[in-house]
Amino acid sequence: MKSFKALITAVAFGIVASASVSQAQEKKGQMTPEQQIERIETAVGSLSADQKAKITAIMGKTREEMQGVPKEERKEKGAAIQKKQRDAIRAVLTADQQAKYDAMAAGAGGKGGKKKNQ
């Protein structure tokens, strides 16, 4: 019975901890890599497992780069890092998907990919 209570306590703690992390990400306005993949897939259509893996790796590399930039320089250097990410993601997509990705970016005020006239 004691181990059952310990298990329930551990599960409850895990749920609370994961909810806190999720809320922290939402407050910062940051989407998880899974949410970003889902957003891209909604915009461009189905992604292959290979495309998802490559895009996830690109996002991980971007996250690492951003963490290496001092806070006071993030606005200046962050835009270039984000553009590099968009270009890398775009390169993983098919021509048809790239056009849809561009449309998604245009609809988001230029965020998320290249504009059509570039």
Reported as a single tens digit per residue, the pLDDT across 45-54 is: 999 999 999 9
* Structure-token match 């209570």, residue found: 5
Residues 99 and 46 grouped into a single domain: yes
Structural domain count of the chain: 2
Residues 20 and 64 grouped into a single domain: no
Residues 51 and 109 grouped into a single domain: yes
Calpha distance 97→90 (Å, rounded): 8
Residues 66 and 20 grouped into a single domain: no
Tens digit of each residue's pLDDT (9 = 90 or more) over 58-92? 999 999 999 999 988 888 899 999 999 999 999 99
Sign of CA dihedral 5, 6, 10, 13: positive
| Residue span of the structural domain in which 117 resides | 32-118
Q: Could you count the other beta carbons within 10 Å of the beta carbon of residue 69?
A: 15
**Local structure of residue 113 (DSSP, 8 states):** S
Helices (H), 29-111: 33-44, 49-67, 74-92, 95-107
Residues 26 and 41 grouped into a single domain: no
Residues 85 and 116 grouped into a single domain: yes
